Structure 1
Amino acid sequence: MKNSGARTRSTLGLAGFLLVLVAALGAQAQPPSSKLPGRKPDSREPWGAFLGKAAHEVIGREYSVQHPNHRVFLDNVNLYDIVGDGKLGNPKRLPELVKRLRPDITDIDALVLFEIKPDDEESRREGREQAGRYLAALNEAVEPDKKLTGGTGFEGTVFLEFENGGALWKLSWRTPEPGVTLYRWSYRRKKPGASWKERAAQKEEELPREEVEQRGELAGQALRAAYEGGERPKGFQGQVYLPADCR
């Protein structure tokens, strides 16, 4: 009876561990809890996470803009659909626990993948590990001539100017190693009468929280309108300068 009880406890413990593991992987695979780059006023999401989601959307859109003839999957598409819809191989060869995971950018024409992270060493390591896991899983399921690698050479800058000479926000990104794209938000103080290029050369500062709280949703709407070719949002009197404008 003692051995039977021990076996029962061991079985229950293993089952509990597997449930936690599956739940964790499932949570990682879920789409963002809110679509950026704007959020509801009563959201309790940390501002850092909010700006991270905004960066993901802008960087993903920009990659698609720069590669208009490529089929690009962003982070709303999972590994199973990338392999199947992209006709890369047999998606059923993907392990069950990774089928729903979603890389940030996957270009199935260039056969490259990018994981987007904040520009700090811990996040860089995390991005390297995640990109490696995605590539390993994908390359087990794709045809031999369709193996993917980590993408390189992807960088850019976006500026948001609020009013003439008003606050200037900057989002920049770089890809310092294959498959890992790092982003950074920064801020320039008001300087009435100066051009945005003159203010872009000003001292770079951390984006103040009060700026994000006051202008976050408006900035998101302006960025989306710039990429979609829509009208600028009501209340936005500034300009959006996309990477093509910054070169």
Structure 2
Amino acid sequence: MKNRGARTRSTLGLAAFLLVLVATLGAQAEPPSSKLPGRKPDSKEPWGAFLGKAAHEVIGLEYRVQQPTNRVFVDTSLSTIVKEGQLGDPERLPEFVRLLRPDITDTVALVLFELKPDNEESRVEGREQAGRYLAALNEAVEPDKKLVGGTGFEGSLFLEFENGGALWQLSWRTPEPGVTLYRWSYRRKQPGASWKERAAQKAEELPREEIEQRGELAEQAIRAAYEGGERPKGFQGQVYLPVDCR
């Protein structure tokens, strides 16, 4: 009877905990307002939000490259992760959290990452979200398949739009378990200098005019580099993936 009472209190506690999650994150269960690759020309979505989605997509691709034999879920519902990752019984998940979608979940390494812009406010938000996702998942999985926040995931890639021209960087780091922070940055034109020489320059905030002019092209060029596809029309530069930057 004592054990049953403890389980009941645990279940009620989790339900209350997850109600807070739904109140704060419920909107994230909705489909994104636009799909990658490419921001639609008539989209009213802010360019900053578009680049955030592009960063999520690219970092997810890179994690899969680094863990080629693992089962990796990117932006996938909790119920699908539990079921297809063969972690346990998705019916154990409360109905109101089954559609919530962690950014990266590795069901072989049993780790989870939440991606956020690299600032303190977003870091706190990422920590809270990762903790809540883990609490929900770990109530549904088998005892030997509990997940934790991932660590040690970091990287950087560069886009050179023309020889000696604009140089963009996407970098990410995981300063605490389960929270991966990303940042877009910019190096000014320096004709005749190599991309590595310009990468050593002081990083600057990505200018708005650069984002508007090259944002869609940047995402498409990176995707083509990962997937071995053709460069997008109008892209005359190079993409240097994390393997090139080590």
Q: Common fold, TM-score beyond 0.5? A: yes
Structure 2: stretches of 5+ with no match in the other structure:
1-20
Provide the residue aligned with 2:79 in structure 1. 80
Higher mean alpha-carbon deviation, 26-35 vs 167-176, is at 26-35
Amino acid at match of 1:62: E
- d(CA) in 2 for partners of 1:190, 1:199: 8
Provide the residue aligned with 1:138 in structure 2. 137
Cα 1:25–1:118 shift into 2, 3 Å: closer
Provide the residue aligned with 1:70 in structure 2. 70
Contact preservation (8 Å) 1:170, 1:185: yes
The alpha-carbon deviation at position 180 of structure 1 amounts to: 0.1
Provide the residue aligned with 1:231 in structure 2. 230
Provide the residue aligned with 1:43 in structure 2. 43
Contact preservation (8 Å) 1:169, 1:186: yes
Provide the residue aligned with 1:53 in structure 2. 53
| SS state at 2:243 partner | helix
Amino acid at match of 1:188: R
- d(CA) in 1 for partners of 2:126, 2:66: 22
- d(CA) in 1 for partners of 2:157, 2:174: 16
Q: TM-score, normalised by structure 1?
A: 0.89
Provide the residue aligned with 1:129 in structure 2. 128
Provide the residue aligned with 2:245 in structure 1. 246
Amino acid at match of 2:229: G
The alpha-carbon deviation at position 195 of structure 1 amounts to: 0.4
The alpha-carbon deviation at position 35 of structure 1 amounts to: 2.1
Provide the residue aligned with 1:209 in structure 2. 208
- d(CA) in 2 for partners of 1:31, 1:178: 27
Provide the residue aligned with 1:113 in structure 2. 112
Contact preservation (8 Å) 1:113, 1:151: yes
| SS state at 1:100 partner | coil
- d(CA) in 2 for partners of 1:121, 1:35: 28
Contact preservation (8 Å) 2:157, 2:242: yes
| SS state at 1:106 partner | strand
Provide the residue aligned with 2:13 in structure 1. none
Amino acid at match of 2:86: K
1:99 equivalent in alignment to 2:72: no
| SS state at 1:245 partner | helix
1:180 equivalent in alignment to 2:179: yes
The alpha-carbon deviation at position 24 of structure 1 amounts to: 6.8
The alpha-carbon deviation at position 38 of structure 1 amounts to: 2.1
The alpha-carbon deviation at position 221 of structure 1 amounts to: 1.0
Bigger CA radius of gyration: 1
- d(CA) in 2 for partners of 1:115, 1:23: 18
Provide the residue aligned with 1:157 in structure 2. 156
The alpha-carbon deviation at position 231 of structure 1 amounts to: 1.0
- d(CA) in 1 for partners of 2:67, 2:188: 34
Report percent identity of matched pairs.
84
Contact preservation (8 Å) 2:22, 2:97: no
Q: Deviations over 1:74-113 (max 9, x none)?
A: 00x1000100111100000001111000000000000000
Q: Deviations over 1:43-88 (max 9, x none)?
A: 111121111101100101000000000000000x100010011110
Amino acid at match of 1:46: P
The alpha-carbon deviation at position 128 of structure 1 amounts to: 0.3
Provide the residue aligned with 1:219 in structure 2. 218
Deviating above 6 A after TM superposition, structure 1's stretches of 4 or more consecutive aligned residues are 21-24
The alpha-carbon deviation at position 233 of structure 1 amounts to: 1.1
Provide the residue aligned with 2:189 in structure 1. 190
Structure 1: stretches of 5+ with no match in the other structure:
1-20
Contact preservation (8 Å) 1:37, 1:50: no
| SS state at 1:233 partner | coil
| SS state at 1:187 partner | strand
Q: TM-score, normalised by structure 2?
A: 0.89
Q: CA RMSD in A?
A: 1.4
